[in-house]
Amino acid sequence: MRSTANNGGYRDRRSMKHVLDNVHGYIYLDPLFLQFIDTEQFQRLRDLKQLGLTHMVYPGAAHSRFEHSLGVYWLAGEAVNKINFYQGQELGIEEFDRNTVKLAGLLHDIGHGPFSHMFEREFLPRVLDGYEWSHEDMSLKMIEYIVDKHCIDIDSAILKTAKEMILASSEHGPEKSMTEKRFLYDIVANGRTEIDVDKFDYIVRDSRACGIGSGFQFERLMETMRVMDDEICYRANEYLTLHKLFATRADLHRTVYTHPKVKAIELMVVDALCYANADLGIAASIQKPSEFWKLDDSILKWIETSDSDSPSLKEAKNLIQRIRKRDLYQYCNQFSVPKDKLENFKDITPQDIICSQKSGGVTLKEEDVAVSTVKIDLTHGRMNPLERQVGFYQDYDSSEKFRIPDDRISHLLPRFFQDRIVRVYAKKPELVEAVAEAFENYQVKTYGCKAQVHATPDKKKARKQLEYQYQTDRQ
């Protein structure tokens, strides 16, 4: 996809650099944005894998936030150009608008921590006692730090607006009372409909990297975007394309991002980072951009090769070495929370599981069990985002926007839009049977029956017992 819409013609590319991207083809980089790209803080994104630890299960998922950020930058510019080509005169789109949207796309992930969202959602809350931190807020601090450190010459109004656009989809985002060109804030991080170029890029990029086919075509949506009442709307016959966007995202969450083994590795890395935090001050780095930018995925290698005699670092190192040897926390089983129980669902803890253990040969402790609760939806909880949030128009001559309920499109589309899956892991292989049985007891106690679909395989229980016995005999 090549951009032809910029004040009615091609941009002068003599002053640009270009890179060949495996998703979008050639991406052209303006000098304004190269000021940010050619800094050590932005180059750090090369050392942050887009999917965190997923590459340990899907080997191809080794792409970085660097290439994703370039992809979002490019699509953000293409989106503005498409809208400008068809409606630029009536909307008053200017070079300032193009630059702010592209800058927001380029820098939207500059404040990301290591290992994808695991750092902010699982590690930091544990070591900082529930302290709320978001990579979007950190992105704003990193942008200010980069501008000051590298004396970047940029219009302060462009910088301010780009930072507001980065926060547009977060709960800390700008006030929704903005009245001028509000649609521009929906291109990179759409807080209204969740349809944005960030998702366009990562859904296609992640699917390709993991070797998973995807029928989602963002190009169709880019061609039919139209601004009506300061909102980006789509042609009605693209309803199923938009549904495919949300369905593909949900499928990636189920089969890739929250794969049982991926979650097992994440649980182990969180434990390792918690052990190492006291010695390395990992969490403290979030307070200063000058320290935060030095933090990336290589921290595991640093821990693994450390010569420190610290007991905590030794525990962390042991966990990382277990991951290398594929001695993972053992997935015991899972169940999907019944639909009628979702409203008042409370997170299940290891304490809940061990309190459900009946008499047996092993007495479980809280530190023997790990619980992962996964929520998968279409971005709006139990609501259908298309039915209530997204504006449609009939054809290119239409001047009226409207919402479309699912039943006007197909009776095959889902009627419920959220899954919550509870998974339980044994931290030691010899405890698989005891943890699995305690988990089943918990389900019976809570729901009156076993909610899980499959029993924990007897052969897995027996194999883990034999492996443990073999290791014990060798010692």
**Residues taking part in catalysis:** 135
Question: What is d(CA 400, CA 402) in angstroms, rounded to the nearest whole number?
Answer: 7
How many other CB atoms are found less than 10 A from the CB of residue 453? 9
How many other CB atoms are found less than 10 A from the CB of residue 342? 16
Question: What is d(CA 54, CA 263) in angstroms, rounded to the nearest whole number?
Answer: 9
Q: How far does the chain reach from its first CA to its final CA, in angstroms?
A: 62
SS3 category, 227: strand
Record the tokens describing residue 386, joined without a space.
Answer: 């298309």
Q: Which of 226, 219, 227 is nearest to 200 (CA)?
A: 219
Sorted by sequence, the CB contacts under 8 Å of residue 90 that are 6+ apart come out as: none
Sorted by sequence, the CB contacts under 8 Å of residue 166 that are 6+ apart come out as: 104, 107, 108, 136, 139, 140, 188, 189
Q: Give the phi and the psi of residue 234 in degrees, each rounded to 5.
A: -130, 155
Phi-psi region of 151 (alpha: psi -120 to 50; beta: other; left: phi over 0): left
Question: What is d(CA 223, CA 396) in angstroms, rounded to the nearest whole number?
Answer: 11
Pairing of strands 392-393, 231-235: parallel
How many other CB atoms are found less than 10 A from the CB of residue 448? 8
Are 51 and 256 contacting, i.e. CB atoms less than 8 angstroms apart? yes
